[in-house]
Amino acid sequence: MLRFLPPAVRGAIALLLLVANTLFWCALLFPPALLKLALPPDGCGHVDPLLNALAARWVRCNGAWMRLMQPTVWDMQGLRPGCWYLVNCNHQSWADIFVLQRALDGHIPLLKFFLKQQLLYVPVIGLVWWALDFPFMKRHSRAALRRNPMLRDEDRATTRRACAKFARVPTSVMNFAEGTRFTPAKHAAQASPYRHLLKPKAGALALAFGVLGSRFEALVDATIVYPAGAPTFWQFLCGRVPRIVLRVRALPIDAALCGGDYEGDQAFRTRFHRWLAQIWEDKDQQIDALVRGGEDALHPA
C-alpha cells in the first residue's frame, strides 16, 4: 500500500496509473473497434461483448489503483446484480463517475454515459467510446434552440439510436438527471426546491424508458454523499476524500411509464415529472439525513 505517501505524490502516481491503464486497455480495444468500424451495424453481435468485457477490465484496474493509493473509506450499500439497468444519480464532482464505476463493477453491466459530441474527436479514447456505443450528444444553446426548435429532435434521435444499440448487449444506461454538477451558485440560480439537489431533467430518462423500458430489470437509484464536501478530481486522485457514502436502491420499472409519448402527451409528461419529483424528494431527504445525521446515518444498524 502507498497510502503513507504525501497526497500530492499519491495524486501524481494515481494520475500516471490512470493514464497507463487507459492506454493499455485502449490498445487492446483498438483492433475490435476497427473491426466494428468496418462491419455493418448488424454484424457486430460478436464484437460488442468483447469490447464491453475489455472496458469492464479497465474499470476493475481503476479500482485496483484506488485501493492502492487512497485511504478513503468507502461506505456502500444496496447493490444488487441483474441484467439491463437504468442508473440515475445525483452529480457533484467528476469523481462521481469513478465512484459509480468502482461501486457497481461486478454488480451490473458496464455503465454507458451520454457524452458531448466534441469528445468523439479526443485522440485514442474517442474511437473507444464510439466502439462501446457511448452516445454522443450535441449541446445547443437556448438561443440556438429558439432559432431552430428542430435541433431538439437531433438529440432525441441520437438517444433512440443509442438505446436501440443497448438492446443488443446487457447494458447499464447512466444518467445524471440534474444535467450538470451541483454548485451553490447553480442551486441559487435555479431557485431549486431541493436542499441538496438541482432540479432534475426528465427528457433523457423518458426517452430511455420509451425505447428500452421493457428491457430494464430495474431503475438503480444511486445517491452519493461526500461528508467532507464534494472533491475536485485532483483531490480525489490525491486521496483527499476521507469518506465516500453511496446508497443504492433498485426500484421496479413502472410499466405505465414505458412507451408513452413524453413530447406529445401532456398527461403522460405530467405523470412522469411527478414520478421523478418523488424520487428526487426522497433522495434530497436521504442526503440531508446522511449529512446532518452524523455517524448513526452514515453507519446504519
Domains contained in the chain, CATH given:
72-298 (3.40.1130)
C-alpha 223/C-alpha 89 separation (Å) is 6
Asked whether residue 286 carries a pLDDT value surpassing 90, the answer given is yes
Which has the minimum average pLDDT: 10-14, 78-82, 116-120, 283-287? 78-82
pLDDT at 132: 85
Instruction: Give the residue-averaged pLDDT of 183-199.
Output: 95
Task: Tell me how far CA of residue 115 lies from CA of 138, 141, 162, 301, in angstroms.
Answer: 9, 16, 12, 39
pLDDT given at position 212: 78
Residue percentage of the chain with pLDDT more than 70: 88
| Mean per-residue pLDDT over the chain, rounded | 84
Structure confidence at residue 300 as a pLDDT band (50, 70, 90):
very low
Interval 202-254: pLDDT, tens: 888 888 888 777 788 889 999 999 999 999 999 999 999 999 999 999 898 88
129/298: higher pLDDT: 129
Classify 77 as helix, strand or coil. Answer: strand
Task: State mean pLDDT over 164-188.
Answer: 87
**pLDDT for the residue numbered 299:** 45
> Residue 138 has which C-alpha cell?
450535441
Residue 41: predicted pLDDT: 67
pLDDT score for 278: 95
**Which of 27-36, 105-114, 115-124, 222-231 is predicted with the least confidence, judged by mean pLDDT?**
115-124
- Say what the pTM is: 0.82
Residue 147 has pLDDT above 50, yes or no: yes
pLDDT of residue 152: 66
Q: What is the pLDDT of residue 210?
A: 81
